[in-house]
Amino acid sequence: MGSLASTVRDVGLQQLAFAPPPCAYTLGQCDTVMTADGDRVALRLFVQEQNTLQNWRARRDYVDTRLLIIFSHGNSDDIQTSAPYCEWLSRTFDANVVSYDYIGFGQSTKGRTTEVNMCQAIEAVYDLAVNRMGVPPQQVVLFGKSIGTGPTVSLASGKRPTSGVILVSPLASGVRCVCDSESVPRAILECIDGVFMPSVQRMAQVKVPTCVVHGTDDEVIGIDNAQALVARCGALAVYPPLYVPAGHNDIEARHGPLFVAHIRRFLGYTANIAALPYTRDVDD
pLDDT digits (tens, 9 = 90+) for 228-272: 999 999 999 999 999 999 999 999 999 999 999 999 999 999 988
Quick one: how far is CA 13 from the chain centroid?
Answer: 19
Collapse the DSSP code of 234 into the 3-class scheme (helix H, G, I; strand E, B; otherwise coil) and give the result: coil
The one catalytic residue in 73, 214, 248, 262 is 248
Residue 63, pLDDT score:
76
Q: What is the average per-residue pLDDT within 91-112?
A: 95
Q: List CB contacts of 30: < 8 A, sequence separation 6 or more.
A: 42, 43, 44, 53, 79, 106, 107
Q: What is the average per-residue pLDDT within 3-9?
A: 41
- 255 given a catalytic annotation: no
0.85 cut: is pTM over it? yes
- 248 given a catalytic annotation: yes
The one catalytic residue in 72, 82, 146, 169 is 146
Q: What is the average per-residue pLDDT within 11-27?
A: 74
pLDDT digits (tens, 9 = 90+) for 176-209: 565 655 655 565 566 555 566 789 899 999 999 9
Backbone torsion region of residue 104, taken as left when φ is above 0, otherwise alpha when ψ lies between -120 and 50, otherwise beta: left
Nearest to 44, CA basis, from 86, 91, 6, 105: 86
The one catalytic residue in 31, 39, 78, 218 is 218
Residue 195, pLDDT score:
60
Across the chain, mean pLDDT equals 85
- 218 given a catalytic annotation: yes
Q: List CB contacts of 232: < 8 A, sequence separation 6 or more.
A: 200, 201, 203, 204
- % residues pLDDT > 90 (the chain): 68
How sure is the predictor about 133, in pLDDT bands with cuts at 50, 70 and 90? confident
